[in-house]
């Protein structure tokens, strides 16, 4: 009973604190209030979302929490959300249907234009990947397992997709694709170079087969003309080791 009381008290505190913190910053205006998850993302990455007439790309949108956070910012005029898993895509489109400036794309992004299997994880769809899970992932995050059958999805190069669909170039890009980040960057170099900020999930250990680690992504981003200006969204495993972090990269070209 005491544990339940402490947990709920802490949760209420966190929700109240994030509401107060977003309000006290006063550096952005919103179309409508942010939910708790949206406030957490904004507090971590809000410095990358300043400016006017922003076009945002949410790559690996899942059910759309980051997408709706982008959509609620008054200075964000267009959001393009990319999500390959059909069930997640349905939730995404339902979540954003009231926002006329949000456009959803049922496609995964990589460095080739192919049809591929995505390994869907039961109970934790955000950990699904186009790469198979390594044993370390299973040990550090027990209880997460793939579905019996992978799902077939479409994968495209971002540069090709942007050109074919005539999409506006982004000012802010968020990439969270469970070990496929290096492929997204390779397939979208020309598009991503246009962005002022990129928020990229980075692993300190390879959690999926053939996935990059921090050094790999850092070198790629430096090669694209970005410098690391912040970190957020830390993820820890069962052992207490830090597994992932979100890197905030700023374009040195302005």
User: What is the rounded CA–CA span in Å between residue 202 and residue 106?
Assistant: 23
Residue 141 pLDDT: 79
Residue 139 pLDDT: 77
Residue 241 pLDDT: 86
Q: Are strands 226-236 and 242-251 parallel, antiparallel or unpaired?
A: antiparallel
Contact (CB, 8 A) for 196 and 226: no
What does the radius of gyration of the chain's CA atoms come to, in whole angstroms? 18
Residue 148 pLDDT: 58
Contact (CB, 8 A) for 171 and 52: no
Single out the residue of 28, 16, 48 nearest to residue 228, CA to CA: 48
Print pLDDT tens along the chain (254 aa): 544 445 556 577 678 878 778 777 767 789 999 999 999 999 989 889 988 999 999 999 999 999 999 999 999 999 999 999 998 999 999 999 999 999 999 999 999 999 998 888 766 677 788 888 877 877 777 777 666 568 899 999 999 999 999 999 999 999 999 889 999 999 999 999 999 999 999 999 888 888 999 999 999 999 999 999 999 888 888 888 898 999 999 999 86
Residue 131 pLDDT: 82
Q: Which domains does the chain have, with CATH numbers?
A: 2-251 (3.40.50.150)
Contact (CB, 8 A) for 70 and 80: no
Q: For the whole model, what pTM was predicted?
A: 0.91
Residue 193 pLDDT: 97
Q: What is the side-by-side strand order in the sheet with 114-118?
A: 108-110, 151-157, 114-118
User: What is the rounded CA–CA span in Å between residue 199 and residue 16?
Assistant: 26
The contacts found for 48-54 with CB under 8 angstroms, 24 or more apart, are 48/172, 48/196, 48/197, 48/199, 48/248, 48/250, 49/73, 49/75, 49/76, 49/172, 49/197, 50/75, 51/75, 51/171, 51/196, 53/77, 53/171, 54/171, 54/172
Contact (CB, 8 A) for 252 and 221: no
- Distances from the Cα of 232 to the Cα of 46, 50, 90, 92, 111, angstroms: 11, 17, 28, 24, 26
């Amino acid at each position: 009973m005491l544990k339940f009381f402490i947990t709920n008290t802490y949760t209420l505190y966190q929700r109240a604190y994030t509401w107060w913190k977003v309000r006290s910053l006063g550096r952005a205006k919103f179309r409508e209030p942010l939910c708790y998850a949206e406030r957490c993302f904004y507090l971590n990455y809000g410095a990358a979302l300043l400016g006017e007439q922003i076009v945002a790309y949410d790559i690996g949108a899942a059910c759309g929490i980051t997408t709706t956070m982008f959509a609620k910012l008054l200075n964000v005029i267009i959001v393009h959300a990319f999500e390959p898993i059909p069930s997640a895509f349905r939730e995404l489109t339902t979540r954003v249907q009231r926002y006329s400036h949000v456009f959803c794309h049922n496609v995964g992004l990589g460095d080739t234009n192919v049809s591929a299997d995505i390994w869907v994880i039961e109970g934790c769809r955000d950990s699904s990947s186009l790469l198979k899970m390594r044993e370390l992932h299973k040990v550090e995050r027990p209880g997460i397992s793939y579905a019996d059958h992978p799902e077939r999805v479409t994968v495209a190069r971002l540069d090709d997709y942007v050109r074919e669909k005539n999409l506006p170039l982004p000012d802010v890009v968020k990439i969270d694709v469970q070990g496929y980040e290096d492929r997204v960057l390779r397939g979208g170099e020309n598009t991503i170079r246009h962005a002022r900020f990129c928020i990229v999930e980075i692993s300190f250990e390879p959690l999926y087969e053939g996935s990059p680690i921090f050094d790999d992504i850092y070198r790629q981003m430096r090669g694209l003309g970005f410098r690391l200006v912040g970190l957020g969204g830390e993820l820890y495993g069962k052992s207490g080791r830090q597994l992932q972090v979100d890197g905030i990269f700023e374009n040195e070209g302005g």
